[in-house]
Amino acid sequence: MLFARMPGAFAFLFLMGGASVISKVQHELNEEIRDKELRLISETGEQMGIVSSEEALHIAEERGLDLVKISPQATPPVCKLMNYGKYKFEQSKREKEARKNQHVVEIKEIRMSPGIDIGDFNTKLKNAQRFLADGNRVKVSVRFRGREMAHTEIGRDLLKKFAEQCTEVATMDKAAKLEGRNMSMFLSPKTGK
């Protein structure tokens, strides 16, 4: 495991040959800003003009605020006067709220065999309807063993019957398709409830 952190860059976590971003670019603050000239914006959002970095830092200290570089690619770089601690706190609150409101759609799988009995079929049907009511997609598959491969139409009819039973709560995304020894179809919950 390798962890590298550089100012103004991404930090990466390398595991088993893959990389994923674990933190975002940090803003340059106060003494970290080394540019000669800056375009300064006040805490209320007003343009204060182009000033030297020493003068901008002096203004920030007078007002008891932080000098934050918000646009390093601009010429000259744009810096803003703000309470950086409060800004980071509010940003983390917004991200937490966004994570709380998002719903990750999972794909649940229902597996059957061509010779399934009616009781087992109804149990699998109830489970699929419950998954769809929770807002998840459902993959319904039939596995063929041995000589069952000669009668794939039984599996296709079974999947067709399953889809018909779920029409009130689901729509068919992908029709029944044979892949190797498995025949599967995808159902997704109906929108506009």
Mean pLDDT of the region 132-159 = 90
CA distance 147 to 167: 31
Q: How many domains does the chain have?
A: 2
Confirm whether pTM is higher than 0.75: no
Residue 9 covered by a domain? no
Note the pLDDT tens digit of each residue in 15-73: 444 444 444 557 778 888 888 888 989 888 889 888 888 888 888 888 889 888 888 88
Burial class (CB in 10 A: 0-12, 13-18, 19+), 19: exposed
> Closest Cα to residue 145, out of 137, 131, 155, 132?
155
Q: Check which CATH number belongs to the domain holding 33 and give it.
A: 3.10.20.80
Same domain, 83 and 153: no
Residue 159 covered by a domain? yes
Note the pLDDT tens digit of each residue in 93-128: 988 888 887 777 788 999 999 999 999 999 999 999
